[in-house]
Structure 1
Amino acid sequence: MPTVRTNDIETYYERRGDGPPVVFIHGMIMTATMWEPQLGALDDVFTTIAYDVRGHGRTGGADRNPYSIDLFASDLAVLLDELDIDRTVVCGLSMGGAIAQAFAAAHPERVAGLVLADTFPPGPLPLTGRLALANIRFLARLDRLINYKTLNRWQLRVGNWLLPGVSGDEVTIQRIVDESPTIPHAEFVKIADATARFPKDSIDLSRVTAPTLILHGEHLPMANEEITGQLVRQLTSTDPTVHVVPGSGHASNLDNPELFTARLQEFLTGCVYSARPEDNDDPSDAGESP
């Protein structure tokens, strides 16, 4: 099981392929496994790296308390150092998108491209966003009485009943959660609190200059458009491309993997890595690599 020491933990990662690097960051209570559709489609052209965020899956937790998105971003920076990757595309979903934002703002020179899926920015959120973050903190505490895997199953079903499609492919999502190593209660609380605090973190997204792709599910509440708008407005030094992923909810890479992956491939080959000399017949016309 490949791991590297990142700060005070052993971080599990999967590395495939041989080409320009793309790093994938999963959502809360998920693992690197959630990116399997994208890893399988891209690893013949790109070096794909997916890892289990601190406290999740096969990555250990720590006595440190509290956790923060900045700490998760620091873990990512050390992981890339250990893997000898200077610059990469960073792709994160939900909590992973928050980590990607924090990393890109702290290390803009290391980001060749930024992909943010079904996520939220720092700063004040609309009511539905605030309620969603309050909900994850509540569920983390309730986990002491009812295991979060069971709570997640109920939440997915209720979500799709109240707002059809909002939970997306609940069968696949729940399977990944069920098959992943169980997160200890204390770790779950620290992870949930770090995620919920992110809107109050001091993250300057104007520092991000890399090409940016924003993706969000069609069936997420209308407030998601407002949240996406806030994200776009904060990315003042880049010109983000925004796509709605049809037929998907909060995990659009799993709900509609074909279209999600197609948009990602277009972004990687058209906006980020298209200028590599090895991709052109005449290297003199290739321009500067990102």
Structure 2
Amino acid sequence: MPHAHAPDGTPLYYEVRGSGAPLVLLSGQANSRRWWDPVVADFARVFRVVTLDWRGTGESGRPDTDSYSTRGFAADVAAVLADAGIGRAHVYGTSMGGRVAQWFAAERPASVARLVLGCTSPGAPHGVERGPEVRRALAQPDQDAAARALRELMYTPAWLAAQEAAGREEFATLGDPSMPGHARRRHLRASARHDAWDALPRIEAPTLVVHGSDDAFNPAANAPLLAERIPDARVRMIPGARHAYFEEFAEVATPLVVEFLQREEEDE
């Protein structure tokens, strides 16, 4: 079971599958590599795919220290790629993973071939934050109701109804249930404190910004903000999609991302 080690010594679990150009997939806040389970096989048919457990999740270490930040997570990604012997990769980050990907691309331009930022934000100081009604729904004391609200922010009602009818009860995008409380709180704080606004113009990699048009969890208005700040970035909105567009709308989103990432090879 491969583990890299972060600069502070924290063990970082990762997996590699497939062959081809390297692609690292970065998951959302308080989630492990399992976030990508519904689609990782599709990417592995084309790329050598790396997925990892953030510190505090999955099989990685769970230090109760001030080592959790989106910039620090980017250093963790660098440690994983170095351990896997990968010097340059495509990077696809969604939600908090997209925030981490911003730092990784801005500070390590030679390590990024192409960049995809999904359902993410430049950070609270300059981004568009979720509305108070969303915050209230997620913070309500009725845990079942809060969990239902989160599912409905991630997926459309029709899709959820179809999954329920099929007997599905678990979703890989709703948080790593094994996380200790301290790690969950530190993930929340790391994502909330993200601010890469001044670093975004330093991104050199060709960049695609993808967002669901109906995403209220991380408002879709953040997509054009990122694209305007990153040189030559382009935006693709997925009509009707919510936060977990990459799963529910995989038939649209995955080919879109694959085509963008492969374009570099064709141009070369």
User: Given the two structures, how large is their TM-score scaled by the length of structure 2?
Assistant: 0.84
Structure-2 change in CA distance of 1:229 and 1:178 (3 Å): closer
Give the whole-Å Cα distance in 2 for the aligned partners of 1:36 and 1:230.
29
- 1:168/1:248 contact within 8 Å kept: no
User: Given the two structures, how large is their TM-score scaled by the length of structure 1?
Assistant: 0.78
How far does the alpha carbon of each residue in 1:155-192 deviate from its partner, in whole angstroms, 9 at most, with x for none? 225658xxx83897596795225794421111111110
Question: Relative contact order, CA 8 A, sep 6+: which one is greater?
Answer: 2
Identity %: 29
3-state secondary structure, aligned to 1:224: coil
Aligned to 2:127: 125
Structure-2 change in CA distance of 1:41 and 1:74 (3 Å): same
Aligned to 1:263: 256
User: Which of the residues 257, 273, 279 maps onto 2:265?
Assistant: 273
- Give 1:241's aligned amino acid: R
Structure-2 change in CA distance of 1:2 and 1:257 (3 Å): same
Structure-2 change in CA distance of 1:179 and 1:240 (3 Å): closer
Give the whole-Å Cα distance in 1 for the aligned partners of 2:265 and 2:198.
26
3-state secondary structure, aligned to 1:73: helix
Q: In the comparison of the two structures, how many residue pairs are matched?
A: 261
User: Which of the residues 165, 183, 199 maps onto 2:179?
Assistant: 183
How far does the alpha carbon of each residue in 1:225-279 deviate from its partner, in whole angstroms, 9 at most, with x for none? 431121112103xx22211123421011111111111101111222x2224xxxx
- 2:95/2:121 contact within 8 Å kept: yes
Q: Is 2:4 the counterpart of 1:4?
A: yes
- 2:130/2:217 contact within 8 Å kept: no
Q: CA deviation at 1:209?
A: 1.2
Aligned to 1:28: 29
Q: CA deviation at 1:32?
A: 1.3
1 or 2, which has the higher helix percentage?
1
3-state secondary structure, aligned to 1:176: coil
Report which of the two structures shows the higher radius of gyration computed on alpha carbons. Answer: 1
Q: Is 2:167 the counterpart of 1:165?
A: no
Q: CA deviation at 1:195?
A: 0.2
How far does the alpha carbon of each residue in 1:90-109 deviate from its partner, in whole angstroms, 9 at most, with x for none? 00000000000011111011
Structure 2: 5+ residue stretches without partners:
none
User: Which of the residues 218, 226, 245 maps onto 1:252?
Assistant: 245
- 2:109/2:203 contact within 8 Å kept: yes
Aligned to 2:117: 116
How far does the alpha carbon of each residue in 1:95-136 deviate from its partner, in whole angstroms, 9 at most, with x for none? 00000001111101111000011000144233x437599779
Give the whole-Å Cα distance in 2 for the aligned partners of 1:88 and 1:244.
24
Which region of structure 1 is more displaced relative to structure 2, 62-71 or 213-222?
Answer: 213-222
Structure 1: 5+ residue stretches without partners:
276-286
Q: CA deviation at 1:154?
A: 2.9
- 2:216/2:242 contact within 8 Å kept: no
